Amino acid sequence: MKKVKSTITQRWLINSLGVTFVVLLAVLLAFSIFVNTYYYSTARQYVTTRMNVISSTLQQAYDSNPGTFSSEVCSLVENWSDKDKMELMTLSLNGTVTMTSSGFMPTEDIVTQDFYDAVESGSSGYYTGNTASGESIFAVSIVTPDTTGDYSVIRLVSSFEEIDKQIASYIAAMALLFLAMLVLTLSSGLYFVKSIVFPVRQLGATARRYARGDFSLRTNVETDDEIGELCDIVNKMADELSQSEAMRNEFVSGVSHELRTPLTAIRGWAETIASMPDDKETIVKGMRVISSETDRLSDMVEELLDFSRMQNGKFTLTKGNVDIFAELADAVLIYAEKAKNEGIELVYNETEEIPIVYGDRSRLRQVFINIIDNAIKYSEKGGLITVQAVVPNDTKVEIEISDTGCGISPEDLPKVKTKFFRANHNKRGSGIGLAVADEIITMHGGSLELFSEEGMGTTVVITLPCRTAAKEV
């Protein structure tokens, strides 16, 4: 079953907006409870206070002259000053309304629990709720000092209809405010999410193009924030991938050409020898060329294998005590004839010191051969290659190989040790020899540095720790 993809917008709506909605809803609920409690308690307190005043007045009237108590009650009800806010009425003990401040007798039973509580307790009773007609009220009833007549109970009733309307208007206003806040949060949030989602989608589409091998597309850097920085990084990554792809393609092309050249020579001389089996001179010359080109092929294949091992982490060294200058002298000797044939002077400044390096003899010679071969390759006829070695102290040895060749441009110099990179496309080579050489020297605990000036030549300085300073592994 295909999994439903979750988007940033969906998660934001569920998380951020959902939390905001719940918080605003909780605040609205708390506000509603507060407003209801405040207005209802205030109204009840006001009604209760008025009833306490009435109770005190009637008690004083009864205590001073019981005979005029009824007239006092009538006068109080008839002259009730708050008749527009609440209604004052008298009742008999059987629940019959005998007088009202409005002057209208009720047409239905309006007696509520407050009356029964007051009669039962002999003092007072309270009721908050709805009448039979559905009107919201608060009622207070007290038993008067005279319980024998029609004015046994005084009841004060206040309608909460206006209060309910006021509360409803406040809650509605607050709800509209919260709704506006929610809409504002949604709008600003969606704008913010959009500013993230759209660039991310563009980056996703661009990355898919890169995955298909198309590095021509670039993302637009419209902001200077983290998204803009990410777009800039992706663009730089595309430049590097494009450059790496170009170098890789050039590497394949270069290797193919390098392999084809000796193979062509081998095949040509093999056919020549086959067609001239009795010509000993031609056979000797052809076999010499075939042997030479076979060695060249073997060296190239070995270099490719070394590079593959290096990439896979399987590149190993067989270490032992090495007379480093002897290996350097052998490498110079190997290329002395080739340099002479190219019209290039190869000078080796020998030293009498014999420093011992703990390392791989064949690998170190491979490095020297690679560097000297490069020096010859990039030098013109009449050029000079100088090889010299020094021991500045008892902890290290330095080998310097300089040429007067074409040199390397400042922008290419930092890249020359990068795999597949070739500074000069007019010269043969795979672009991995220097990368392998640098890895070998690094694995020996040393360093390989290049110094070059375009049109003036290049100097390679190899530094290796001596046996006394090297750490045996």
More confident site: 359 or 108: 359
Domain containing residue 304: CATH number = 1.10.287.130
- Secondary structure letter of residue 317 according to DSSP: -
User: Which pLDDT score, from 0 to 100, does residue 90 have?
Assistant: 92
Note whether residue 108 is domain-resident. Answer: yes
Same domain flag for 446 and 305: no
Same domain flag for 150 and 13: yes
**139-151 pLDDT, tens digit each:** 999 999 888 888 8
Cβ(468)–Cβ(397) under 8 Å? no
CA distance 167 to 38: 10
CB < 8 Å & 24+ apart, contacts of 328-336 = 328/368, 328/387, 328/389, 328/399, 330/365, 331/365, 331/368, 331/369, 331/372, 332/368, 332/372, 332/387, 334/369, 335/369, 335/372, 335/373, 335/376
Same domain flag for 459 and 321: yes
Same domain flag for 25 and 82: yes
Domain span at residue 369 reads: 316-465
| Least confident interval from 20-24, 254-258, 303-307, 310-314 | 254-258
CA distance 424 to 434: 13
User: Which pLDDT score, from 0 to 100, does residue 1 have?
Assistant: 45
Give the pair of three-digit tokens for residue 356. Answer: 């011992």
4 pLDDT higher than 60: no
Q: What is the total residue count of the chain?
A: 473
Domain containing residue 441: CATH number = 3.30.565.10
pLDDT (average), residues 330-355? 85
Same domain flag for 301 and 380: no
∠ at Cα 222 (220, 223), nearest 5°?
135
Tell me which range, 303-312, 362-371, 409-418, is most confidently predicted by mean pLDDT. Answer: 362-371
The model's confidence at residue 9, banded by pLDDT at 50, 70 and 90, is low
- Report the share of the chain in percent with pLDDT over 90: 18
**31-44 pLDDT, tens digit each:** 999 999 999 899 89
**Amino acid at site 208:** R
**164-182 pLDDT, tens digit each:** 889 999 999 999 998 888 8
pLDDT (average), residues 204-227? 74
Last residue of a domain, one of 311, 343, 366: 311
| Least confident interval from 193-197, 271-275, 409-413 | 193-197
User: Which pLDDT score, from 0 to 100, does residue 32 have?
Assistant: 92
- Secondary structure letter of residue 344 according to DSSP: -
Give the pair of three-digit tokens for residue 108. Answer: 């239905």
Same domain flag for 280 and 409: no
Same domain flag for 75 and 147: yes
Last residue of a domain, one of 248, 278, 311: 311
* Closest to 144 measured CA to CA, from 119, 120, 126, 127: 119
Q: Across the chain, how many H-helices and E-strands are there?
A: 10, 12
Note whether residue 212 is domain-resident. Answer: no
Last residue of a domain, one of 132, 151, 166: 166
Give the 3-state secondary structure of residue 163: helix
Give the 3-state secondary structure of residue 132: coil
Torsion angle defined by CA atoms of residues 13, 19, 25 and 30, in that order, rounded to the nearest 10 degrees:
-170
- Secondary structure letter of residue 216 according to DSSP: -
pLDDT (average), residues 361-386? 88
More confident site: 473 or 135: 135
244 pLDDT higher than 90: no
CA distance 306 to 316: 9
User: Which pLDDT score, from 0 to 100, does residue 467 have?
Assistant: 75
* Closest to 174 measured CA to CA, from 282, 68, 28: 28
Same domain flag for 254 and 367: no
Cβ(346)–Cβ(339) under 8 Å? yes
Q: What is the mean pLDDT of the chain?
A: 82
Same domain flag for 244 and 337: no
CA distance 429 to 420: 10
Domain containing residue 145: CATH number = 3.30.450.20
Same domain flag for 360 and 391: yes
Note whether residue 194 is domain-resident. Answer: no
CA distance 56 to 58: 6
Dump the DSSP string for 100-119.
ETTS---SS----HHHHHHH
Same domain flag for 287 and 343: no
Rg of the chain on CA atoms, in Å:
52
Contacts of 102 (CB under 8 A, 6+ apart): 83, 87
Same domain flag for 138 and 264: no
CA distance 213 to 246: 11
Note whether residue 205 is domain-resident. Answer: no
> Is 4 exposed, middle or buried (CB count within 10 Å of its CB: 0-12, 13-18, 19+)?
exposed
Note whether residue 120 is domain-resident. Answer: yes
Note whether residue 193 is domain-resident. Answer: no
Note whether residue 182 is domain-resident. Answer: no
The total domain count for the chain is 3
**406-457 pLDDT, tens digit each:** 888 888 887 777 765 555 545 555 557 788 888 889 888 999 999 988 888 8
Note whether residue 196 is domain-resident. Answer: no
